[in-house]
Amino acid sequence: NTPVSDLSVGKSTVGEYSGRGLFAAKDIQEGVSIGLEKKSLSYFILPSTHQIIEEMYYWAEENYDEAYASEVYDSISAVEAFSIGYGFWSTLLGRTHSTVDSGALMFCNHGCNGTYNYGVITGFTEANVDLKQPPEMIIGKSSAFSPVTERNMRQYLSGGDATNRVVKQGEELLCDYLGYVGNPQHWKEEIVSLRGQCDGSEAGDITYFESSEE
């Protein structure tokens, strides 16, 4: 395990519209997990809470000109951006919920066209994946039920990844966002968005939110 103290946060090298990025402060070997000491401290947004946030966000967006709606929108949009931009969604509990790393790992950006150095190499990228449905390997349909996993769901959702090659000092740590699309219904929308971010025609959720606040 490489502790979070061996990482640094700076301007991402991914593209023009990228914001903050995560960098190795020293060489990290292949097959090493990162920040395990912070994994149990991740922010976990329960399905019921996630549903309330979504309903409030869309209500405020549709009724922005009404009394109080704009104030609700300004507040809840920050929570929405935090959940989408820094978190990863899942439906393992039956309904959509999300997990956000509490430490610097939240700044790990997507490695376009399979260039990610943190996470399992699947052979799928945002450029070549089918837009109609996510690959079975990604959504985990073939995973066998495990009572151990069920009892430790929060740790399971926020841990398990490791570097897939040596990451040199000063190099940006990149993740695979394809595995962060927790709801198959949002698959096409999310992949199209990733393609836009990778070709430089679209900003990410956090960059978009922060620019709209200026």
Specify the pLDDT at position 141. 47
Specify the pLDDT at position 142. 40
The full set of domains in the chain, from first to last, is 4-213 (2.170.270.10)
Specify the pLDDT at position 151. 62
Please list the ranges in the chain whose pLDDT falls under 70.
40, 138-160, 182, 212-214
Specify the pLDDT at position 70. 83
Question: 114: exposed, middle or buried (C-beta count within 10 Å: 0-12, 13-18, 19+)?
Answer: middle
Specify the pLDDT at position 188. 92
Helices (H), 69-201: 69-86, 136-139, 147-151, 153-158, 187-198
Specify the pLDDT at position 62. 87
